[in-house]
Amino acid sequence: MMRFLRGISALALTLGLSTAALAADVAKPAEAAKAAPSALFEPDEVASEGSVTVRGARIDYKAVAGTLVVHAKGWDDAAKPKADAVGDDAPAEASMFYSAYFKKGAPAADRPVMFVFNGGPGSSTVWLHMGAFGPRRVVTADGSHTAPAPYRVVDNADSPLDVADLVFIDAPGAGFSRIAGKDKEKAFYGIDQDVRAFAEFIKQFLSKYQRWNSPRYLFGESYGTPRAVALAARLQNADSVDLNGIMLLSTTLAFDFWADAPQWNPGNDLPYVVTLPTYAATAWYQNRVSGGRPAQLEPFLAEVEQFATGEYAAALIKGNDLPEVERKAIADKLAHYTGLSADYLLRSNLRVNVGQFNRNVADAAGQTVGRLDTRFAGPSLDVLSREAEYDPQSTAISSAYVSAFNDYARGTLRYGGGKAFKLFANVDDWDLKHTPPGAGSAVEGAANVLPDLAFALKTNPSLRVLVLGGYYDTATPYFEGRLQLRHLPVPEGLRANISYKYYPSGHMVYAHEESLKALHDDVAAFVKGR
């Protein structure tokens, strides 16, 4: 099961199709071949104008909603497809949708451009667009279910359009993006295939809008963080395109740290170690810390982090050799930090995955807490279930985001008429193999892009990295990214290129308004520090 924003669902006509391809959709391949044998998709764009006030300053901008066409590995732009290669017989292509915002009157030479994407994998970028960085954002309830339509959409006073032009990109097959051609899923649905598509998109965008000499940044959320890291390495290595900075929100770079189902990999106790501080943050927020809630969250988390990497990790490593006295002592401390009972923790062998925790921490109230944001809680669907059966935060805000974006895209951006918006692409067969720089072939086992980040920093010592996260996120726990980056194989001098910021929010930190304001300020300071 895939994780990240894809958990929001468990977060049509084809966009940009030529007339010929549309005809092929109606089962007329022969006529399509005669009409346009050279392409399944054609790039398009619709321009509009707007303004937004950020931190008291009015910003007039040009908006462009459109698509660029990228091809699969092995594509030769000098070669022409055979005239009879149409539909599923044609080479695989992706029509990638984007919404770009350019500040008027800002010279491109020194105006940064920020490429923004969500994760999934296979998620559209509706979340960052309509919740965090776009010039308009949807207002949702904080910590509770947002009432049904009509939803309130407001000018976003926290958009980073004051410091950079913004490009929101939908992954192949998601949003208004589409894929087609022979073996299209194999061509685009995988770690390295996806990175290649985004690299091709970025290079085309830089050419189309003459931004090759602009400062360049990537902003990825959730699965977008390993994408951003691998993308930076690919751009610098294969394409000689250096970046100024990478921003990673809700970070996970080594997949064997995932705590969704670690029980199927006995012996790897890292997932339990890195999630414990978030369990403690949740217990603190939900007032479940035994003995009374500490006055301040962050000093409490520092204490839990030390316990997690010290006594707790040492106990887990002992496995079945852990003496019973020590086992009970650890269970008592875990009970204090997590709000779960010592008896439950002992029966769980001191190891509780995310689904178990979210289902049981508020069990006394008959509630399940959110996977993406444990500040949210809702009635448990089955009070006898072992793990959470839904995500209360996802159900609380998803309708608002989808409705607001569809209305905004079709009304304000004037894009999408007659086209279906797909919240997620169908990526059930996502290829998890990854080839790090210099490896020569895919490395067996869980993917890990820390070597990619090390390569990017070593080959571009000016590259800066900003790591961001929410304390109440059990999908990508804040301490997971922090602990992973402690093991980044780079010299001490390059470690100073990495900075960290955390917020009293969840996976989508911008769902908390005060955290959104802080996120803007941290991103703006990072870009200005170029």
Residues 131, 381: Cα–Cα separation, whole Å? 28
Q: How confident is the model at residue 469 (pLDDT cuts 50, 70, 90)?
A: very high
Helix then strand then coil, % of the chain, to nearest 5? 40, 20, 40
**% residues pLDDT > 70 (the chain):** 91
Q: Is the pLDDT of residue 484 over 80?
A: yes
Q: How confident is the model at residue 22 (pLDDT cuts 50, 70, 90)?
A: very low
Question: What's the one-letter identity of residue 504?
Answer: P
Tell me what the pLDDT averaged over the chain comes to.
Answer: 91
Check residue 165 and give its pLDDT. 98
Q: Please, what are the domains in the chain?
A: 4-256+397-528 (3.40.50.1820), 259-389 (no CATH)
Residues 392, 394: Cα–Cα separation, whole Å? 6
Rg over CA atoms, the chain: 23
Q: Between 399 and 39, where is the model more confident?
A: 399
Q: Would you tell me the crossing angle of helices 224-238 and 191-208 to the nearest 10 degrees? A: 60
Residues 369, 382: Cα–Cα separation, whole Å? 13
Q: Is the pLDDT of residue 10 over 80?
A: no
Distance of CA 151 to the CA centre of its chain: 24
Residues 300, 281: Cα–Cα separation, whole Å? 8
Q: Is the pLDDT of residue 21 over 90?
A: no
Residues 6+ apart with CB under 8 A from 228: 117, 218, 219, 220, 246, 247, 248
Q: How confident is the model at residue 33 (pLDDT cuts 50, 70, 90)?
A: very low
Residues 174, 314: Cα–Cα separation, whole Å? 43
Check residue 87 and give its pLDDT. 65
Check residue 86 and give its pLDDT. 60
Residues 6+ apart with CB under 8 A from 4: 119, 120, 121, 123, 222, 223, 250, 252, 475, 476
- Stretch among 25-39, 137-151, 223-237, 512-526 having the lowest mean pLDDT: 25-39
Residues 357, 88: Cα–Cα separation, whole Å? 45
Q: Which residues pair with 166 in a beta bridge?
A: 101, 114
Residue 235 structure tokens: 């751009």
Check residue 79 and give its pLDDT. 65
Question: What is the DSSP track for 63-95?
Answer: EEEEEEEEE-TT--TT----TT--GGGSPPEEE
Tens of pLDDT, residue by residue over 83-133, are: 555 667 789 999 999 999 999 999 988 999 999 999 999 999 999 999 999
Q: Is the pLDDT of residue 483 over 50?
A: yes
Question: What is the DSSP track for 129-158?
Answer: IIIIISSEEEE--SSSPPPSSSPEEEE-TT
143: left (phi over 0), alpha (psi -120 to 50) or beta: left
Q: Is the pLDDT of residue 39 over 70?
A: no
Please, is 22 exposed, middle or buried when counting C-beta atoms within 10 Å of its C-beta (0-12, 13-18, 19+)? Answer: middle
CB 295 within 8 A of CB 465: no
At CA 225, angle to CA 231 and CA 214, rounded to 5? 50
Going by C-alpha positions, the residue among 280, 187, 249, 267 that lies closest to residue 472 is 280
Tens of pLDDT, residue by residue over 271-330, are: 999 999 999 999 999 999 998 899 999 999 999 999 999 999 999 999 999 999 999 999
Residues 313, 317: Cα–Cα separation, whole Å? 6
Tens of pLDDT, residue by residue over 375-432, are: 999 999 998 899 999 999 999 999 999 999 999 999 999 999 999 999 999 999 999 9
Q: Mean of the pLDDT values across residues 212-228?
A: 98
Q: What torsion, rounded to 10 degrees, do the Cα atoms 200, 499, 507, 345 define?
A: 130
- Is the backbone peptide bond immediately before 121 cis, with ω within 30 degrees of 0? yes
Say which DSSP state 258 is in. Answer: -
Check residue 81 and give its pLDDT. 59
